Each structure stands twice: as C-alpha cells, then as structure tokens.
Structure 1
C-alpha cells in the first residue's frame, strides 16, 4: 500500500508539472536580420535593398530590423558564398543576382550554386545597357563600332565582373561588331558610374534602371542602347540593341534568398513578407522613383527561371568561354 501511495504521489506531481504552462517559443524574428548585398554601395541592388528594408520589417513584424551588409568582390561570389554558408535560421537573407549567380559556378569551382538557397522570390528584372558621358562623341552603337575599329583595344568597358550580364553584353557586342574592347571589372555599378564620370573608362555597361538613377542624381551620362527584347517601359524612347542591328538581349534578375534548410514556418513567413512588400503600393511607387523594373516571381517560378538560365549559360560557355584572356 505504501508503494502504491508513493506511485500515486509521483504521478500527481508529473501531471501537475505537465499542467504548468511551457515557456512560449520566441516569435520570429526576435533580433535583427542581416540582408547581404553582394555588390558595393550605390549600385542598383544596394539602393533597392535599402529602400525595401522598412517594408520587409513591417510585414515580418515582431519589431524586426533589417541590416543591409555590403559584401562586394569577385563579381558577387564573396557575398553569394557568405549567404550560402550562413546558418539557415532566418537571420541571414540576401539578394542573388543573375547572371553572376549562374555564370560564376560555370567558370570556376565555387561553394555555391543557385540550388544552395531557399528562394524567397524575385523582385527586379533590369535590362542591360551601354552608357557614356554626355560629352562623348559616340552617339549610338554604329558609331561605337566605327570608333572601336579605328581605335583597336582603346575602348574601355566597365562591368561588375567576369560573367556578369554587363561583361557578357560587352563580349557579345565585340563579337557581333568584329571589334576589340578592353574589359575593366569593378565591384559594383556605383564604381562603374564613378569610372565613367571621371573619364577613367569610356563605356559603362550598366543596367537601365541604374543609368536612370544616376542621371536623376546629376551624373552626365546617356544611353547608347538598351538590351531588352523590346523597349523597357521605363525607357520607351531609347532603341534596343536589336533595333540597332545587334540581335541579343541580356538582363539581371534580382531576388531574395536564404541559406538552404530554413525551418518551414520561417520560410513561409519570409516568402509572404516578400510578396506583401512587392504588392504594397508605396513600395511600388518607391521602386518607380528608383527606376527599378519590378517583376515578381514566387519561389517555384523563380527556380524554373534560374534552371533555364543556367542551361543557357552552360551552352554559351561550351561555345565561347567568357573569361578574359
């Protein structure tokens, strides 16, 4: 009987303990979230990241705070690698940019591919462009071709690195026109803009939205052409490369991702916050002010786009590797 009483007492204690309220799990996010930008300050990705941070904070709630971290270098590989290596806990997210995200693992061994991430959604689709100082004697692509033929290797073109849309555009133009151009890589579009402005280089291979931002900010540069299939809605008066006899198009997708392996509840919350941000009329208005061409893709559609792009760039690499000689 004494033993039975002991067992009954122990059971009662266990039941009492079970009835106590368990500590509530901390609501995500409970501390700041780092947002990695793989390019320098002042470029299109950096400007969009800083503009959108308050909207992500709003839709994530819990007094969240987004801290933008610039990790430029190696055409984006430094930042992409840091993002892929981070803990998949929702406290590190980042922008991933094509084609660099796709081309870098093709041209050299890396610790990441686009499959290294949980995709949160694409936001931007910005066509490439060539831009020069207003004072440049070159007014269009025909004149650029003529100038380059008369001055072999003297036309310097600034890009955001090997395998970027800017670099591939330069190579495609050079092959199509039959000219020699000199590649000058930088850590971001902001540095390319500065190099064009100072006369350090002749051509800036910069995306349409970025050139428009710099023009608005007072930089005296103008377009030679845009690389969209049809004229971008934000640049309706500027002819495409195709219209000028150079039948190719290149653009940069810019979307958000996190390290692979996010807890499902956190992944869903981040995906929802990205979608709510893109749908927010105030965010859309600010994107227009930055000349950032929005193109939202949910994770599944984003993955399909990246897979197709990877296949195209592998084919291009097999035909004509794009690394500088």
Structure 2
C-alpha cells in the first residue's frame, strides 16, 4: 500500500512539473507576441516635421495644414506634427531636405505637387518621386484660370482674342516656372496660337496677390486658393483645367477642352516620406491619414474646395506617380 501511495505521489509531482513547463512555454509565447505589439506601439515616439516645399498660403500649404489639423482635431497621432515651409527652387530645396538629408527617417514628411515631377525631368531637382516612400494619395486638385473682378474679360475666349490681337500684352501669374500652372499656360498658348508672358511666383498666395492687385492679367490658382475670393466677388474664374466641369460654385465655369483647347491636367495631392523607412511606420502613417480623410470635416474641406477625392495606398500611389511623371514629361517641352 505504501508503495502504491509513493507511485501516486511521484506521478502527481511529474504532472505538476509538466504543467509548470507548459505554463512557462505559454508565458514565453505571450511575451513574444506582446513584444511584437510593443515594437509596433513604439512608433511614433517623436514629433514629426511636415515639410511644405512651397510658400505659405498656396494650395500645397492649405492642403497640408488642413490635413494635419484634421489629424490633431481627431487625436489620431500621439505626438506633434509641425508644418514647416521650405520654398525655393520650384520645391527642390524642401524635397531634397526630406529625401537626401533625412533618408530612412520616418519622422520627416512632405507632400507632392506638379514640380515634384517636373523638377527632376527638367534637371532642376536632384531628387525624384523614386527617392520617396509613398504613404497615401487623397485627392486631385484642378487648376482655375482666374481674373480680378474688375477685369474687362468675361470669358477665356475674349482674353485669348486680346492676346492674339496684341502679342505679349497679356500676362499670367502662376507657381514657379516648372509647375502645373506653367505647363497649362504653355500648352494653352500653343493651342490658341498666342504669345503671352508667364510670371512665376513662389506659390499660390503670391499669385493671388498679383491677380487681385492687377499686376498680371490673369492667374492660375487651385480651388482652395481661389474659392474664398470668388465667393466674395473679388475674383472670377474663366476656365478650369479638368476633363469635366467642377460642381457647386464653379458649375458654370467651362473647361479648357470645352472652349476648343485639349489641355487637361490636375494635381495629385498626397503624403510622402523619405525612402527606406520601416514598414511599420508606413503602415501607421497610412492608417493615420486614412482615418483623417474619412472624417466629415475633411470631406467637407474637399467638397468646399472643389477637389475630387482619390484615395490610394502606397503601391497604387507610387504607380500614379510614375504616370504623373510620364504625363509631365509629355507637356514639359512646352516650357521655354
């Protein structure tokens, strides 16, 4: 009987030991999973710098500030995102700062515009879309051709007739010589068979001031830049560069294509970061900005500024950049 009880005691001890080992294995597995979660949760640990490579008040600036404000208002980021304007060189100064000086740094962000593509094509920028991690594209932004309210030109046709009658008498203001504004200007000039002067400015804010002050005959502005002035009756839109007409306040504004000029261009809006950032950072940033653009406040901004929502993930955004680059290469020879 004693021998029997001794065997039972030994078996019980073995079972307890095996249970203890299984528990350790389970704890180790949970610890490993917890570690993976902790690694993902480690990002972000620092504040972000969001570089706008254009001047304050322009379309890119308004876009970025509104996007970051939406993130802040909805508490989507545990750290601070600070907007920093670094204009110059048609955007090349700001983009070089992000891509070359901060390669691999997920805390440096920027946006894209037409000169993001035209700069490297023309040899004016040392970096191209290939030097960036594409995070998310969120909208397409058309270009408006606008005049001050006191302009004698009520239609684009009238303005072009005046340009044809007196070469170089008409001047146009727009962002930098390598912007979408300039591409549209030269393509339109060629299509209409007219000779006009193009005056480049650091950004949409300066262009708007020049148009309102009568320093140029007409100007190229994004809807987000021009909408308030149009609503206030200080500015009039004569044409839009998209395939189809915009809605709302701009419903009566014809496209360039409608008035006989096959010039169709729009500007992609999105967020990029330097190349070689960790995948967990790409995923986090994409999800964060995706949540922001899904909010009612952001959708209202897009609608009020006559943008077209165009959400793309990293891979699709990169492919879109390739197509944008090809498109601008096609038009860039129009720029003198």
Query: Normalized against structure 1, the TM-score is what?
Result: 0.85
Q: Would you say 1:225 and 2:239 are equivalent positions?
A: yes
SS of equivalent residue, structure 2 residue 95: helix
Task: Say if 1:197 and 1:219, in contact at 8 Å, map to a contact too.
Answer: no
Closer, same or farther: CA 213–84 of 1 in aligned 2, 3 Å: farther
Q: How much does 1:59 deviate? A: 5.9
Q: Which residue of 2 aligns with 1:245?
A: 260
Q: Which residue of 2 aligns with 1:101?
A: 116
Unaligned stretches of 5+ in structure 1?
1-18
Q: Which residue of 2 aligns with 1:6?
A: none
Unaligned stretches of 5+ in structure 2?
1-30
Which is worse superposed, 148-157 or 286-295?
A: 286-295
Q: How much does 1:90 deviate? A: 1.7
CA distance in 2, matches of 1:285, 1:311: 32
Task: Say if 1:59 and 1:276, in contact at 8 Å, map to a contact too.
Answer: no
CA distance in 2, matches of 1:321, 1:48: 28
Structure 1 residue ranges (4+ consecutive) displaced by more than 6 angstroms after TM superposition: none
Q: How much does 1:203 deviate? A: 0.9
CA deviation profile, 1:20-74 (whole Å, cap 9, x unmatched): xx9x768222232111111111112211211221333446433x11100111122
Q: Would you say 1:236 and 2:251 are equivalent positions?
A: yes
The two structures, once aligned, show a CA RMSD in angstroms of 2.3
CA deviation profile, 1:243-265 (whole Å, cap 9, x unmatched): 11112211111110000011111
Q: Choose the corresponding residue for 1:68, options 83, 88, 105.
A: 83
Q: Would you say 1:88 and 2:142 are equivalent positions?
A: no
Which is worse superposed, 47-56 or 111-120?
A: 47-56
CA distance in 2, matches of 1:199, 1:80: 32
CA distance in 2, matches of 1:87, 1:161: 26
Q: Which residue of 2 aligns with 1:9?
A: none
CA distance in 2, matches of 1:198, 1:54: 31
CA distance in 2, matches of 1:208, 1:286: 11
CA distance in 2, matches of 1:186, 1:133: 17
Aligned length: 299
Instruction: List aligned pairs for 1:272-311, cutoff 5 A.
Output: 272-311=287-326
Q: How much does 1:314 deviate? A: 2.6
Q: Choose the corresponding residue for 2:56, options 41, 55, 64.
A: 41
CA distance in 1, matches of 2:220, 2:58: 12
Q: How much does 1:87 deviate? A: 4.1
Instruction: List aligned pairs for 1:90-129, cutoff 5 A.
Output: 90-97=106-113, 99-108=114-123, 110-129=125-144
Q: Which residue of 2 aligns with 1:12?
A: none
Q: Would you say 1:269 and 2:284 are equivalent positions?
A: yes
Instruction: List aligned pairs for 1:68-217, cutoff 5 A.
Output: 68-85=83-100, 86-97=102-113, 99-108=114-123, 110-216=125-231
Larger radius of gyration: 2
Task: Say if 2:244 and 2:255, in contact at 8 Å, map to a contact too.
Answer: yes
